[in-house]
Structure 1
Amino acid sequence: MSKAISMNQIANFQADLDQRPEAKVIERSVTKNGILASSQDIQAMSQTTPVFSIDLDTGDVANQKQSGRCWMFAALNTMRHSLAEKFNLKHFELSQNYTFFWDKFEKANYFYENVLATADQATSSRKVAWLMTTPQQDGGQWDMLVAIIQKYGIVPKSVMPETYNSSKSAEINSTLNLKLRKDAVELRELVAAGTSDDAIQERKEKMLNEVYRMLAYAFGEPVSHFDWEYRDDKKQYHIDQNLTPQSFFEKYVGWNLDDYVSIINAPTDDKPYNHTYTIEMLGNVLGGREVKHLNVSMADFKQLAIKQLQAGQSVWFGCDVGQSSDRQKGVMATDVYSKDELFDVDLSMSKAERLDYGESLMTHAMVITGVDLVDGQPTKWKVENSWGDKVGTKGFFVMSDAWMDEYCYQVVVNKEFLSDDLKAAQAEEPTVLAPWDPMGALA
């Protein structure tokens, strides 16, 4: 039987508060300064100095500005790092606007197809409600960017620079989602009326044409051929003519993207280690690379990242950046705030509990560019963010090893660093998870 809060209970709660000698001091601090400032542990900050035994020189940080493209910035930055070293272009950037255009265009088609696939379900069904909550958004996964690059290539930022809408995406997102929801109404009505598949696809093509036009107005028309003219860090002039986005990627990046795989750490009962997982209705390019994760222990997770850093290559990773982190100072550490001590309450949860109960999931992607190893064990990690150079140490953050244990969920590594057992596990057919599974979160 449920019970309402009684006035007697409230009197007891107030009496408990009154007998605490520290209560008024804490109240004054929290009401004046807020929870974070009142609970910050300055000593914890001193344990996260930005000095690392392995420290890759990756140049200046980028700035995603008011957009949710961290996953895209982080992935393109890992590619930029190798390109910059090979061609003496430390201050070079790839075009995040170009991949943004194609991601949104492909997500529109992916949404339409999911609408058609669920058209026999009521709008109150969980899957349909899930689709309509966010028809498309800025966020994504590593595999989704791979799908874009494998189909469309990439270009230098100078060839397709930022626009108002790529740097500040709220307006295009709300307008595009309005259109997609309106189109969903029509597509579901066509299915309900028994319209032929050919007629539905013909109508969908007209919808996509309208989406393409909207994106071209917002981001500029995507380039198909271009000349690339630049001076390298040694002031040497270069020009490369009649490139395509695909030929540019092959010539200047040259990665076999199939070699790079997603590794996750999700210690929940429904995801045994050393097995692979995918997520229903998650993706962008229909028929392109699927989102696929290999779940491993945290020990394996970290050792794979270390091996790639030791080989001189940075590591794309996904985490819950808002947990126990100081954005301005660029510190991510489990002891940076002591909220439990401040309020005298137990706030501890296991990583699995946080995932299962909605307290945490991947919210942001960045790049690991260094690690501090003491007696062969990591103590802290260097992180390249995409929030500009005014935060952290010129845009770089420090992540404690304990924070990685608790709030890091994904790294992307070359398959060459996997053991034979993990290679075999990664090759398995993945278990399909529900669309709302936390491992389907978009960074």
Structure 2
Amino acid sequence: MGSQASKIVEPKYTPVRSTNDDDELLLKLQARLGQQDESKDAPLSLSNLSKWEANLLADPKNRLALNCFTSHDITEIVAQTAAINLDNVDLFNVNVKFEGAPITNQKSSGRCWLFASTNVFKEFIKAKHQLESFEFSQNYLFFYDKLEKSNWFLNRIIESADEEIDSRLVQYLMQTPENDGGQWDMVVNLVKTYGLVPKSVYPDSASSINSSGLNYLVNNKLREFALVLRKLSTSEKSEDVEGVKTSMLNEIFNILALTLGLPPKPDDEITWEYKDKFGNFHSVKTTPLGVYSDLLGFDAAKYFSLIHDPRNTEGLYTVDKLGNIEGGKPIEYVNTSIDNLKQAAIAMLQANHPVFFGCDVGKFGKTDLGLLDVDSWDYQLGFGTDMHLNKKQRLMTGSSQMTHAMVLVGVHLVDGKPVRWKVENSWGEYGAHKGYYVMSDKWFDEYVFQIVTSERFATTKLTDIWKSKDYKVLPYYDPMGALA
């Protein structure tokens, strides 16, 4: 906890290059655009604008579309009712036995990764202690994650003190010194260092359920501290840097404690009182570390991420400058095919094991329908043009990245192949399926980037890649560095 920074050798990044399929896309798009306009007018001349308007309105369908799109949300107009009715079926022949109860709600915060991970954990503690319902304190992990990320940021600032302040690296660091998001390996670092507590021991606060004000305050204090540390690191008083940094972290601690509440320390004694599903009362005295190591029955460190990043070859990847606890576990991604992600996820669900996964949730989905499905919205029908970027090209051009973490708790198989997946979200009991989503298998192909699995469910080859610790390093600005 709170280790100091050290000068490090800059890693050699793994390059991402375009390939033949990118050239094929360009040729297809060029063909769709048709013949080159032979007019010598400027592209946006009044003549062209008039011609384009006349051509648009010449089609009666476009006149109807104009009325529809100017008075309704785009996704409502291009929604395909038949496809929605066909694909939004809340029936699954493989289900996690203890899933749900309760459906959690991260509210106005970016804590999805903490909710997704603790939603996985809760199924194990419910099964072990025969509970109808249970929720871990996400706020407890949230507090210590923000404190550790503040230390992480200040250490990166010290390391980069010789860089110009307008360099790409320093500007990247200053853009968001810390935020609510995170990754599975960050969860591993937190639970190994701080443990877990029931939500009844450390409940949410006003600033955990609506974190924007807290983030504004902490991030601006960290930017202020960064300027001081940069100046001090290159001055004759550079030996004072660690002491000054510690006083800065004390200020951050004070802010977090006053807004999130004073959390128990990892070795503090806590009391967990509960009734099991048979009505029997229990009282357990333990510590946060004891909750994780003794009561939970789940070793998070034995789990690792499989990702599908079609820009890169199969192998073990990490992301430069990405982490939360200094000296902790690095971010580890085993890149492989989408089929390998599905096979591992299905094996886990069949073994009654919920699956943490990361995705780009804002595409081809609707919360009130509880549906994620690429076939249920037809932009070609509405606009006469479609979106043709594939998954790799969306990553290369900034169109897509991991934005949200949720939990797979079911799958529907036909002839051994997945057709749709059951998803437990953390946005409360909202929508057609009361907090759950139906995700089509085609949506999985396009917008799921990560699942978390273990040696028990992954192939020997993938497990060996993970155990090799032979990392290829992606740059800090890579989309795989996005925090869910």
91-100 or 425-434, which deviates more: 425-434
Q: Distance in 1 between matches of 2:250 and 2:92?
A: 50
Q: Equivalent residue of 1:84, what SS? A: helix
- Within the candidate set 204, 210, 216, 2:245 is matched to 204
**RMSD in angstroms over aligned alpha carbons?**
1.2
Structure 1: give runs of 5+ residues left out of the alignment.
Answer: none
- Within the candidate set 330, 333, 344, 2:370 is matched to 330
Contact 2:302–2:455 (Cα < 8 Å) also in 1? yes
Give the direction of change, closer, same or farther, for the CA distance of 1:4–1:123 in structure 2 (3 Å limit): farther
Q: Distance in 2 between matches of 1:120 and 1:8?
A: 54
Q: Distance in 1 between matches of 2:426 and 2:73?
A: 27
> Partner amino acid for 1:145?
V
Contact 1:64–1:73 (Cα < 8 Å) also in 2? yes
TM-score for both structures, normalised by structure 2: 0.89
Shift of 1:196: 2.6
1:316 and 2:356 aligned: yes
- Within the candidate set 423, 427, 438, 1:398 is matched to 438
Q: Distance in 2 between matches of 1:5 and 1:64?
A: 46
Shift of 1:305: 0.6
> Partner amino acid for 1:333?
D
Q: Distance in 1 between matches of 2:406 and 2:432?
A: 13
- Within the candidate set 75, 100, 104, 1:59 is matched to 100
Contact 1:59–1:90 (Cα < 8 Å) also in 2? no
Q: Distance in 2 between matches of 1:118 and 1:342?
A: 50
Partner residue in 2 for 1:439: 480
Q: Distance in 2 between matches of 1:251 and 1:427?
A: 26
Partner residue in 1 for 2:327: 287
Partner residue in 1 for 2:221: 179
TM-score for both structures, normalised by structure 1: 0.97
Shift of 1:48: 2.1
Q: Equivalent residue of 1:8, what SS? A: helix
Q: Distance in 1 between matches of 2:434 and 2:204?
A: 22
Partner residue in 2 for 1:76: 118
Shift of 1:115: 0.5
Percent of matched pairs sharing the same residue:
39
Q: Distance in 2 between matches of 1:380 and 1:53?
A: 10
Partner residue in 2 for 1:348: 388
Q: Distance in 1 between matches of 2:168 and 2:43?
A: 31
Q: Equivalent residue of 2:398, what SS? A: coil
1:227 and 2:271 aligned: yes
Partner residue in 1 for 2:66: 27
Partner residue in 1 for 2:318: 278
Q: Equivalent residue of 1:172, what SS? A: helix
Aligned length: 437
Q: Equivalent residue of 2:109, what SS? A: coil
Q: Equivalent residue of 2:443, what SS? A: helix
Q: Distance in 2 between matches of 1:90 and 1:389?
A: 17
Following superposition of structure 1 onto structure 2, how do residues 39-438 of structure 1 map, counting pairs within 5 Å?
39-46=78-85, 47-57=87-97, 58-60=99-101, 61-197=103-239, 199-223=240-264, 224-241=268-285, 243-268=286-311, 271-273=312-314, 275-428=315-468, 429-438=470-479
Q: Residues 93-131 of structure 1, C-alpha deviation per residue, up to 9 Å, x if partnerless?
A: 000010000000000000000111111111111111111
Contact 2:95–2:409 (Cα < 8 Å) also in 1? yes
Contact 2:100–2:424 (Cα < 8 Å) also in 1? no
Shift of 1:341: 1.8
Q: Equivalent residue of 2:395, what SS? A: helix
Q: Residues 50-99 of structure 1, C-alpha deviation per residue, up to 9 Å, x if partnerless?
A: 10010113132100011110000000110101111221222210000100
Provide runs of 4+ in structure 1 moved above 3 Å: none
Q: Equivalent residue of 2:326, what SS? A: coil
Q: Equivalent residue of 1:173, what SS? A: helix
Contact 1:262–1:411 (Cα < 8 Å) also in 2? yes
Q: Residues 139-177 of structure 1, C-alpha deviation per residue, up to 9 Å, x if partnerless?
A: 000110110111000000000011111111111100000
Q: Equivalent residue of 1:230, what SS? A: strand
Partner residue in 2 for 1:10: 49
Q: Equivalent residue of 2:409, what SS? A: strand
Contact 1:316–1:365 (Cα < 8 Å) also in 2? yes
Q: Equivalent residue of 1:417, what SS? A: coil
Shift of 1:4: 5.2
Structure 2: give runs of 5+ residues left out of the alignment.
Answer: 1-40
Q: Equivalent residue of 1:432, what SS? A: strand
Q: Residues 389-409 of structure 1, C-alpha deviation per residue, up to 9 Å, x if partnerless?
A: 022411111000000000000
Q: Distance in 2 between matches of 1:114 and 1:340?
A: 46
Shift of 1:312: 0.8
Shift of 1:338: 0.9
Shift of 1:420: 1.8
Contact 2:361–2:403 (Cα < 8 Å) also in 1? yes
Q: Residues 166-201 of structure 1, C-alpha deviation per residue, up to 9 Å, x if partnerless?
A: 11111110000010000001001112224233x100
Shift of 1:3: 5.9
Q: Distance in 2 between matches of 1:22 and 1:251?
A: 65
Q: Equivalent residue of 2:60, what SS? A: coil
Contact 2:309–2:335 (Cα < 8 Å) also in 1? yes
Q: Distance in 2 between matches of 1:362 and 1:375?
A: 30
